[in-house]
């Protein structure tokens, strides 16, 4: 839901500015050159992004060199998935309300469901389709690393059902498909004897 404090006096919002930084899309690009509030907002969002990237790089360095390719991919995709992404409109019972959720929030939901699957770790999570248009078909794509010894088809089927349930409960998206790709098999740690 849009809150009044998110809107500048010029009528634009931080969400619009964030989307502009992510995609380069803005309804009135010349406005950004002339509006001091929007320019200040963009500068603040850029500084926040730099600080976030520095913290992320620090966390990656603290985690070690990461020789496993799947771990490197997960960390790289997390940086992209932390952005709000596209705005997904939601229905409202009151015509004056503007309700929405972000693509980033939906991706985080899918990732949390995947990460609760025993013996599995989510890699890349992506929403394909125009989520900004209500009712348009959307395909959810999840890359998954599974612990050695787990039945791959059971893991994929279980995750597909859990993701479908969570999306039906927390979104209004028209989910056309949930594609699970097993991208890696994780070797279980061996106990020293």
* Domain spanning 69-193: CATH 3.30.300.30: yes
pLDDT at 163: 95
Neighbours of 75 (CB within 10 A): 15
pLDDT at 1: 35
pLDDT at 79: 53
Q: Shortest CA distance to 148 belongs to which of 122, 123, 120?
A: 120
Q: Is the pTM of this model over 0.85?
A: no
Phi first, then psi, for residue 178 (nearest 5°) are -125, 105
Would you give the distance in Å from CA 42 to the centre of its chain? 21
Which residues in the chain show pLDDT less than 70? 1-6, 51-83, 188-193
């Amino acid at each position: 839901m849009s809150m009044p404090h998110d809107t500048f006096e010029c009528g634009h919002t931080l969400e619009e500015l964030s989307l502009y930084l992510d995609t380069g899309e803005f309804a009135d690009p010349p406005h950004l050159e002339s509006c001091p509030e929007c320019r200040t907002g963009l500068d603040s969002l850029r500084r926040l992004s730099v600080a976030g990237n520095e913290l992320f790089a620090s966390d990656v360095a603290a985690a070690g060199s990461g020789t496993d390719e799947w771990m490197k991919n997960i960390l790289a995709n997390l940086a992209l998935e932390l952005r709000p992404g596209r705005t997904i409109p939601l229905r409202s019972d009151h015509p004056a309300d503007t309700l929405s959720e972000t693509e980033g929030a939906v991706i985080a939901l899918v990732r949390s469901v995947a990460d609760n699957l025993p013996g599995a770790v989510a890699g890349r999570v992506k929403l394909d389709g125009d989520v900004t248009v209500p009712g348009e078909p959307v395909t959810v794509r999840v890359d998954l690393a599974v612990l050695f010894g787990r039945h791959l088809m059971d893991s994929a089927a279980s995750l597909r059902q859990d993701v479908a349930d969570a999306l039906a409960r927390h979104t209004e998206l028209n989910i056309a498909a949930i594609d699970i790709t097993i991208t890696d098999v994780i070797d279980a740690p061996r106990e020293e004897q």
